[in-house]
Amino acid sequence: MIIITILTLIVAIGLQDTQQSKITPILFSRITSIMLIYAAILTFNMLYLDIIESGLGIFSGYFQVSNISLSLEIFIYLIGALILMPWYPNIFNNKLIWEIDKEKANTLKLKSPSHLSLAPFGEGVAGVIELNDKKVDNISVTHPHTGNRWENFYDRVVKYNRPVLSEYALIILFTTLGGVLLISSYDLVSMYLSIELQSFALYLLASLYRDSESATSAGLKYFLLGGLSSCFILLGAGLIYAYTGLTNLEALYSLFSVPNITDTIVSESYLGQSNISGHRGFLLGLILIVSGFLFKIAAAPFHNWAPDVYDQVPTIITTWLTIVPKIAIIVFLLELESGLFINSDISNITNDVHSLSLLNINIDNIITMDGNILKNLFLFSSLLSLIVGTVVGLAQYKIKRLLAYSTISHVGFLVLALAVNTEQSTESLIFYIFQYSLTNLNTFLIILVFGYSLNTHALPHLRCHLSSGKVLGTGLLGAWKNNNTNLNIKSNLDIRYISELKAQFINNPILSLSLAICLFSMAGVPPLIGFFAKQQVLYSATYSGYYFISIVAILVSVISASYYLQIIKVIHFPIKDNNTYNNTQNNNKNDSNSIIPVTNIHSMTISILTLTILLFILNPSILLNSTHLLALSIFNC
């Protein structure tokens, strides 16, 4: 379904360029979102097939379909559909018209219905001007002070710095396709092709807004460092193939489960000196592959690129980068580790050293390395991620950089659950993926609304000037006061600094409370869903004997609450400067329309996600039972 949608969009975009099609970028985004939902429904129907319960190899074994892969694919489709929704400030729903009075060229009069629809995705504004329900591409407006006449009003105002949204939807589909293919990958070749398909789409997505210097810089940085991690993955896959001659993961699992065979003759044939060298080559290749994947999910010590990239790209792109790629990679690492330590039963090999002692080789050290090196790598990365994401996050004053370090801390919990590798830890890992995705998505959607509210604050004043018949000198075309040559709406609708959220509780208490709920959930405050996710991970870690890292995780969770509380304090508590506080109250009273209303789907999504986070404790059985069944499907396949 995704491939068909991609081909359809490519043809549609090509026809649009050649035939001047009227398909708007917003329509492309909506079509893509609907297709993702439809793909989720089709994938859900596959869960009814009993044949895939224990895994079904497809395409000559390059991919394997299982219950957990299908379930996470459905989740990725739904998250992608929500992120791809055309979020934009619903500014001019009251339908106004702009018309020049011929007798008084410096005044505007309210006359007949029309509207200006804005649809920004981060930096830039796209939209249309309609007069009497007909699109107008050329409107002449007279400067209120100098009398200069402005032609091509539509081109100057609406098309200024316009992002290419149709390509945005297409790139989103490519990265979604790469993610779902990675989850089902069962071969080193398909694994690498899938991760590269996802990564290249993300590089393009990060640098989509070419007119933005910060976005271009972030995209270049992401491309260079992401390419380095891809080199690690490719080198690791090459080493494994060079030493074993295999690329299929099931064959690799079977090869390294041979030491369990107690037949000395068979064991000698598989564990000669050359195969011991192959064991080490496989181990080195495995370390490189896992390191490359840890780099791509911004796990410490491979995290340095994430705060810069997340901060410099538009917020809607940051939302995608922090959620969807991490889901696919974490699930693949889970399946890889489960295959190595369950299917091959490497974790139990050390208990059968006596039967292998007849080989007169030091197999104990090799098996111990295979059984522990991957676990130790995960534990080391988890410990660093927890510490770095918390300590460095305390010094941040930019909101998206702070949330980037928060993401690194959450990745530490995810990697800790991977390291433990038990049924309980797998269940906690899947549950943590669900709650992390929902909470992060809701947080960034709320930040988008705040950005629209703050950075387009002047736009509603235009309605007052029009309705009162005053001279247009402020508001939407406020740039005219200084006789600027460029008429543009403020192009960057993102919030960058925490201080920009100052006293927003006064203007929009419901939205502020929703953001506070999300931040408390990230901090692990009961009875929110984030608390139960962290509790499950910590319980599985302590149950398996990882006491030290569990204590560290508890401490950093308490410490990290301080920078979440910093945001909540800025939003909710009164400002010390009385003049600023009074001005904020007066603005709120005098201009009831100072808050940019969001679209219905945007507000509904925020409401549903907030209630899910808040009221999860009332009926947790649905999600908990689902994650439990998925964990059992891995260990009992």
Dist. CA 176–CA 76, nearest whole Å: 8
| Across 196-200, 389-393, 580-584, least confident range | 580-584
| Across 216-220, 314-318, 469-473, 609-613, least confident range | 469-473
Name the residue with higher pLDDT: 341 or 86.
341
| Across 172-176, 333-337, 442-446, 581-585, least confident range | 581-585
pLDDT at 508: 85
pLDDT at 405 over 50: yes
pLDDT at 464 over 50: no
Calculate mean pLDDT across residues 521-545: 94
pLDDT at 578: 53
3-state secondary structure of 610: helix
pLDDT at 83: 87
pLDDT at 51: 78
pLDDT at 157: 40
Q: How is the chain split into domains, by residue range?
A: 1-17+27-89+165-258+275-343, 423-458+493-576+596-636
Q: What are the DSSP calls for 485-506, one per residue? A: S-----SB----BGGGGTTHHH
pLDDT at 633 over 80: yes
Q: What percent of the chain has pLDDT over 90?
A: 42
Calculate mean pLDDT across residues 609-632: 92
pLDDT at 358: 36
pLDDT at 481: 33
pLDDT at 340: 80
pLDDT at 451: 82
Highest mean pLDDT among 19-23, 322-326, 336-340, 462-466: 322-326
Q: Could you report the per-residue pLDDT of 268-295, keeping only the tens digit for each? A: 444 444 555 667 788 899 999 999 999 9
Name the residue with higher pLDDT: 199 or 478.
199
Angle, helices 315-338 vs 188-206, to 10°: value is: 170
How confident is residue 182, by pLDDT bands cut at 50, 70 and 90?
Answer: very high
pLDDT at 113 over 80: no
How confident is residue 476, by pLDDT bands cut at 50, 70 and 90?
Answer: very low
Q: How many helices (H) and strands (E) would you count in the chain?
A: 24, 7
pLDDT at 188: 95
pLDDT at 169 over 90: no
Name the residue with higher pLDDT: 270 or 620.
620
- Per-chain mean pLDDT for the chain: 75
Return the C-alpha torsion angle 258, 263, 268, 269, nearest 10.
-70
How confident is residue 192, by pLDDT bands cut at 50, 70 and 90?
Answer: very high
AA letter at 412: G
How confident is residue 19, by pLDDT bands cut at 50, 70 and 90?
Answer: low
pLDDT at 150 over 60: no
pLDDT at 142 over 60: no
Q: What are the DSSP calls for 265-332, one per residue? A: HHHHHHSSHHHHHHHHHHHHHHHHHHHHHHHHTT-TTS-THHHHHHHHS-HHHHHHHHHHHHHHHHHH
pLDDT at 132: 38
Maximum Cα–Cα distance for the chain, whole Å?
106
Name the residue with higher pLDDT: 147 or 99.
147
pLDDT at 208 over 60: yes
User: 503-529 b/e with 16+ CB inside 10 Å = b?
Assistant: bbbbbbeebbbbbbbbbbbbbbeeebb
pLDDT at 547 over 60: yes
pLDDT at 637: 60
Calculate mean pLDDT across residues 446-464: 62
Return the C-alpha torsion angle 15, 16, 22, 23, nearest 10.
90
Q: Could you report the per-residue pLDDT of 224-270, keeping only the tens digit for each? A: 999 999 999 999 999 999 988 889 998 888 877 655 443 434 444 44
Q: What are the DSSP calls for 347-380, one per residue? A: GGGGGGHHHHGGG-S-HHHHHHHHHHHHHHHHHH
pLDDT at 110: 31
How confident is residue 139, by pLDDT bands cut at 50, 70 and 90?
Answer: very low
Dist. CA 429–CA 410, nearest whole Å: 11
pLDDT at 516: 95
pLDDT at 471: 33
How confident is residue 1, by pLDDT bands cut at 50, 70 and 90?
Answer: confident
Name the residue with higher pLDDT: 195 or 343.
195
φ and ψ at residue 422, rounded to 5 degrees: -125, 175
